[in-house]
């Protein structure tokens, strides 16, 4: 299926090492910006107990869940270390300062 790119704002709308939430129907997606201005999009739902990853701390290409400190890869959505689970991730395209998401997940949650 072709990508369905949706403009969700600009890089400047997202704080460095923070995130901004966007809605896709009932689904909440957290769009993260790293310290070196890379952008990633993950479902705003920790694979542990659905904690809001958008409220987590961004570091080293990962986000730490605010509820019980699981560390989730921004690139793959995979829990790191001994924890097991994955959050859905979405492809991101940057044009100038504009951020587009493809709302078909690359990695589905499990």
Residues that bind ligand FES (CB under 6 A): 46, 48-49, 51, 65, 67-70
Pairing of strands 39-43, 89-90: antiparallel
Sheet holding 5-10, edge to edge: 5-10, 98-102, 92-95
Of 65 and 99, CB closest to ligand FES: 65
Q: Where are the beta strands (DSSP E) in the chain?
A: 5-10, 18-24, 27-33, 39-43, 57-59, 62-64, 71-73, 89-90, 92-95, 98-102
Quick one: 39 or 46, whose CB is closer to ligand FES?
46
Smallest separation (angstroms) from ligand FES to the CB of 19: 15
11 or 109, CB closer to ligand FES? 109
Least CB distance to ligand FES at residue 84 (A): 12
**What minimum distance in Å lies between the beta carbon of 101 and ligand FES?**
22
């Amino acid at each position: 299926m072709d990508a369905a790119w949706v403009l969700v704002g600009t890089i400047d709308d997202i704080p460095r090492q923070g995130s901004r939430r966007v809605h896709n129907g009932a689904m909440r997606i957290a769009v993260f910006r790293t310290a070196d201005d890379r952008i990633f999009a993950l479902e705003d739902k920790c694979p542990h107990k659905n904690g809001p990853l958008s409220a987590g701390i961004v570091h080293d290409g990962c986000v730490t869940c605010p509820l019980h400190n699981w560390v989730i890869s921004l690139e793959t959505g995979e829990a790191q270390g001994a924890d097991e689970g994955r959050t859905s991730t979405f492809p991101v395209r940057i044009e100038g300062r504009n951020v587009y998401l493809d709302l078909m997940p690359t990695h589905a949650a499990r």
